[in-house]
Structure 1
Amino acid sequence: MSNDYNSSSFKKLLDKLQQESWQLELLISGFAIFGLFQVMNPLKEELMKAIGNDDFIYRFFIQTVYPALSILLVVLLVHVILRGVWIGALGLRYVSNEIDYDELQYSKKFTDHLTKKVGSFDRYISRLENICSTLFAIAFLMIFYFMAYMLIIGFYILVSNLVELTDIFSSEQQVIFNVYWAFFYFSFALLIFIDFIGMGILKKGNLRPKIYYPVYRFFSIITLSFLYRPLVYNFLDQKRTKWLATFILPAYLLISFLLSSFSKQHSNYLTTTGDSSAIYANKGNYEDVIDNSEDLIDFATIPSKIITTSYLPLKIPFTTFKENAVFEKDSTLKPNKDERGYGFNGKSMSIPGLTLSIGNNKDVEQQKKYLNVVNNMYEVLIDSTIVEKEFIYTTNSNGRLQFETFLDISTIGKGKHLLHIVGPAGDNELFKKKIKIDTLVTIPFWHYKD
């Protein structure tokens, strides 16, 4: 069969598929809902890993994908429910046909009102059909909206990183470039957003389109708009659906923002958030109660609130700030080229069945020097007594780098104790980043020997 969209045979095929599309809608919605329920928890776990690993790019990707999939899940659930109502209405029509208002024997006032407002049963079925088809299309259009947002931010990050990799600017010049690049780029992105909210307001008139057209073309390319542009304009040329297609995303963001601040307060004085202290134990400091899918690990962790051994394992997760503090303390360790972040590693490459490593081992002496700085950088106290420690580095079950040591607590008494860690902390003064020495965490625990 010819797939020429102007041919009569192709139009007949589309009309036939349109009439039977509800079956495909239900089939796709069912599989999509099942898959989305399966993937939401793993995404949460990946988000916690990204936050814990200080991985900004991966974190941004997950934080963009997660709400997009949440919207898709909610809209598809509503679609399935309404499509079920539609099927039920069709079945009822087969049994009882139209609504007979005379049979109800209501007064003329109510009969006239219901005839006007409710109307015929066929009109109800038709409206349900339109709503279901619109919801099904809008669900996937939301995915493209979030994809466009992610690509806009991603392009900015890509250009910034590429310019930084070329080493054509000094560190100070790179900061200046990033500021100007961000200003111009997001100023143009703001025009795209204004045009989106205004339903094409910058495409109207005589002068505005001439100025806006190059910006529109540029962002059309980087957002891959050719994939979903026909969907957008098909919504915008209808009075009822254009409002839905334009404002469903801002409405979702506004509702999410408002709901994020809504919670139940259990007490006027006691809270369930905050850092551990002498009177509060944050579960992010205790490994036995941390839920990897929902909880963020705090600055440091110990195995449990109750310690029954003569030693206390202490783990401090690695962060970029801690390494910057090492460089601040010993500038000889600062490399000429910062290798942190994403990039191609030519020292280790692999294909199925073959792995090639070329001098991938780091200098052990430099690692020892690095760890020596870490050990001198942090002071560990139990109650008010300084405790000897020697950090090594390792990885946890999620592959995150961390510093680990074991503290001798054989001489401390039974009962409650406070573990203090003192070291460098960030201190932002306007745009100047300073490092100050402060108590970074206080963790209460109870010691009872076996």
Structure 2
Amino acid sequence: MDNPRPEKNRTGWLEHLEAESWSAELIISGAAIYGSFQLPWLLTKLINYSLLNFSDDILEIMYLVFTYLTFTISILMVNFVMHFVLRSLWVGLIGLSSVFPQGINEESETFSKSYLQQLKHDFGDLRGYNEKIDRVCSIIFAFSFSFAMIFLSIAVLVLAIAGIAYLIHQLNQNIPINLVFFSILGLVLLPGILNGLLNHKKFRDKAWVQKIHYPILFKAVSRVIFHVFFEPVYYINSIFITNFKKSQYSLRVLAYMALVLPVFAVVFIQSNAIFANKDYYFNYANREDRFYPIHYEDQLGESQLIQNPTIPSVQIEGSGLNLFLPLPMREETRLYQKYGAYSNDPQLSASENTLQSRAWFKEQAGKYFHIEVNGKKYTPSLRGYNHRNAYEYGFLTFIPASLCKEGENVIYIQSEYQVEGKKRECYLPFWYSNR
């Protein structure tokens, strides 16, 4: 049997690896900055797909998923930029130390002797300053992955519970998805709350607490919450928590989150995640007294999600204009709730029932949308259409010139989508000229 490697050699190898780890950190951090700045684009794609294909009850749950994913991305972006900047500074200081190994020159005549001594006392030698930056870089690198894994774990957990809630709802339509979801989530989080309470000095040394505190309330439940990330998350965080004072660690976390929150806000708003909130969706761009770029196709960005009725431009010339009425799944669900679903006719073939179903759906859509042009009701012919921007499904119709007047016009649209008994409204002002 081979003899195990001596402890001294193993320790020396580890120390050498730690000393040389900065180069790997710098390479990984640089690549991670590039990768993390691509993540908001992928998040937006995921959110746009969800907004078009999920109903309100599912989107309410997905809103939590989007929030935690946005935190994960924001943490990675902030941490890797901070780490790269500080590690680059550290490399620069290493080079500087080879030129000026003594650091601050106390023999300089630039300042008084007292001034130089105080300067040296506050900043120390160059080696000590380098070591300080090196420690900060190493902490940031571990901290970034730890917090990112925490938020990613919670997002995956929420998504898994949402899937279970959806399956239960499919088995029994009378049970609301949200009720099932929050009930399961509460059961999962309850042991974590108890774990925090039992860690109080008043309880933690009691025999019955010690039997359940670590093995059940901590280890077993945490494996469910953090699943594949359990070991790295708790190992890294336990190192931080046990090596910093509780108040010191809490203040650093709060200060760090204050740094992350502005980035989170920007990523969250640009990703369209806010539209998962039905109140925001209901009230967005619904004022009569202003123009919204989202209502005009020539002002839309490439692949921009619409979710609002649109016309070609704020200035219309010619014989009339097209009007696009989007119908995301949240509104389609409302349509079926109000008008029911098409029932197949047993006397018809499958293809004939398909045609009848499409005709029925088109008829119900005509009832679902109430349209007025300059205060006069207009009942147009609707055609199914997928908009080129985000392949968003809805209906395309035409507003003839006979309904328009020279100068300012307003198209008013009301759908049966409701929040607190109020129907969703939209105003599309435009200027028209028949020349």
Give TM-score, length-normalised by structure 2.
0.78
Equivalent in the alignment of 1:408: 400
* 1:113-262 superposed matches below 5 A: 113-165=118-170, 167=171, 169=172, 171-172=174-175, 177-178=180-181, 180-191=183-194, 194=196, 204-206=204-206, 207-213=208-214, 214-216=216-218, 217-224=220-227, 225-239=230-244, 243=248, 248=253, 251-252=256-257, 256=261, 260=265
Does the 8 Å CA contact 2:411/2:427 hold for their aligned counterparts? yes
Does the 8 Å CA contact 1:317/1:402 hold for their aligned counterparts? yes
The one-letter amino acid paired with 1:366 is S
* 1:343-382 superposed matches below 5 A: 363-382=354-373
The one-letter amino acid paired with 1:223 is F
User: With CA pairs under 8 Å and 6+ residues apart, which has the higher RCO, 1 or 2?
Assistant: 2
Select 2:93's aligned residue among 84, 89, 92.
Answer: 89
The answer to whether structure 1 residue 305 and structure 2 residue 314 are counterparts is: yes
- Inter-partner Cα distance in structure 1 for 2:190 and 2:54: 28
The answer to whether structure 1 residue 423 and structure 2 residue 426 are counterparts is: no
- Inter-partner Cα distance in structure 2 for 1:247 and 1:135: 12
Does the 8 Å CA contact 1:4/1:10 hold for their aligned counterparts? no
Does the 8 Å CA contact 1:278/1:442 hold for their aligned counterparts? yes
The 3-state SS of whatever aligns with 2:86 is helix
The answer to whether structure 1 residue 383 and structure 2 residue 387 are counterparts is: no
Equivalent in the alignment of 2:293: 283
How far the C-alpha of 1:399 sits from its partner, in A, is 2.9
- Inter-partner Cα distance in structure 1 for 2:202 and 2:384: 56
The answer to whether structure 1 residue 441 and structure 2 residue 426 are counterparts is: yes
Select 1:76's aligned residue among 39, 56, 80.
Answer: 80
Equivalent in the alignment of 1:343: none
- Inter-partner Cα distance in structure 2 for 1:209 and 1:45: 47
The one-letter amino acid paired with 2:328 is T
Does the 8 Å CA contact 1:326/1:370 hold for their aligned counterparts? no
Does the 8 Å CA contact 1:75/1:135 hold for their aligned counterparts? yes
The one-letter amino acid paired with 2:374 is D
How far the C-alpha of 1:22 sits from its partner, in A, is 0.9
Between the two proteins, the alignment pairs up a number of residues equal to 402
How far the C-alpha of 1:288 sits from its partner, in A, is 1.5
How far the C-alpha of 1:20 sits from its partner, in A, is 0.8
How far the C-alpha of 1:147 sits from its partner, in A, is 1.5
- Return 5+ residue gaps in structure 2 as ranges: 267-282, 345-349
Does the 8 Å CA contact 1:311/1:406 hold for their aligned counterparts? yes
- Inter-partner Cα distance in structure 2 for 1:256 and 1:4: 49
Q: Percent identity?
A: 20
Equivalent in the alignment of 1:19: 19
Does the 8 Å CA contact 2:104/2:125 hold for their aligned counterparts? no
How far the C-alpha of 1:6 sits from its partner, in A, is 8.0
- Inter-partner Cα distance in structure 2 for 1:237 and 1:383: 69
- Inter-partner Cα distance in structure 2 for 1:151 and 1:250: 26
- Inter-partner Cα distance in structure 2 for 1:392 and 1:203: 68
- Inter-partner Cα distance in structure 2 for 1:38 and 1:281: 32
- Inter-partner Cα distance in structure 2 for 1:221 and 1:4: 37
Does the 8 Å CA contact 2:104/2:120 hold for their aligned counterparts? no
As a proportion of its length, which structure holds more helix? 2
- Inter-partner Cα distance in structure 2 for 1:74 and 1:121: 27
The 3-state SS of whatever aligns with 2:40 is helix
Residues 172-199 of structure 1: per-residue CA shift (max 9 Å, x gap): 487765554344334335456x58xx99
